[in-house]
Amino acid sequence: MTTDPVIPRRPDVPESIEKITEKARELEAIYDVVQDPLVLIDSDFKIQRANQATIQFAKNHDFESVLNKSCYEVLYQRTDICPYCPALQAIDKKDNGFQNFLTPKSREIFFKVGERKQSLQLEFYPYPKNEGEHWIVEKISDVTKQKEKEEESFRMRNLASLGILVSGIAHELNNPLTGISLTLQNLKANWQNASPEQIEKRLEMIKNDISRAAIIVSDIISFAKSDRVKVTLGDIIDTINRAKDTVVRLYPHLSKNINWKILFDHEYQFPFHPQKMERLFMNIFRNSLQAFDYRPGEITVDVRKTKNWIHIIVEDDAGGIPEAIIQKIFDPFFTNNKSGTGTGLGLSICYSIVQEHDGTISVKSMEGRTRFTISFPASGENLEEQL
pLDDT greater than 60 at residue 14: no
- Please state, in angstroms and as integers, the Cα–Cα distance from residue 175 to each residue in 16, 27, 179, 286, following that order: 89, 72, 6, 10
pLDDT confidence of 226, banded at 50, 70, 90? very low
User: What's the average model confidence in pLDDT over 260-288?
Assistant: 89
User: Is 0.75 surpassed by the pTM of this model?
Assistant: no
Would you say 329 and 347 are in contact if contact means Cβ atoms under 8 Å apart? yes
Distance from C-alpha of 178 to C-alpha of 157, rounded to nearest angstrom: 31
For β-strands 369-377 and 309-316, DSSP reports them as antiparallel
- Please state, in angstroms and as integers, the Cα–Cα distance from residue 376 to each residue in 45, 78, 86, 280, following that order: 68, 65, 56, 13
User: Mutual orientation of helices 236-250 and 274-292 as an angle, nearest 10°?
Assistant: 50
Q: If 0-12 CB within 10 Å is exposed, 13-18 middle and 19+ buried, where does residue 80 land?
A: exposed
User: What's the average model confidence in pLDDT over 353-367?
Assistant: 89
Query: Which residue type occupies 292?
Result: F
Whole-number percent of the chain with pLDDT over 70? 79
User: What's the average model confidence in pLDDT over 115-142?
Assistant: 83
Count CB neighbours of 136 within 10 A.
24
Would you say 47 and 41 are in contact if contact means Cβ atoms under 8 Å apart? yes
User: What's the average model confidence in pLDDT over 54-80?
Assistant: 86
pLDDT greater than 60 at residue 242: yes
Range from 63-72, 134-143, 368-377 that averages highest in pLDDT? 368-377
Render pLDDT for 112-123 as a digit per residue (tens, 0 to 9).
Answer: 776 778 888 899
pLDDT greater than 80 at residue 31: no
Beta bridge partners, 127, equal 135
Would you say 101 and 6 are in contact if contact means Cβ atoms under 8 Å apart? no
Query: Which residue type occupies 203?
Result: L
Distance from C-alpha of 346 to C-alpha of 331, rounded to nearest angstrom: 10
Count CB neighbours of 263 within 10 A.
10
Question: What is the pLDDT, as a whole number, of residue 104?
Answer: 86
* Sequence-ordered list of residues with C-beta below 8 angstroms from that of 375, at least 6 positions apart, any chain: 309, 310, 311, 312, 359, 360, 361
Would you say 377 and 359 are in contact if contact means Cβ atoms under 8 Å apart? yes
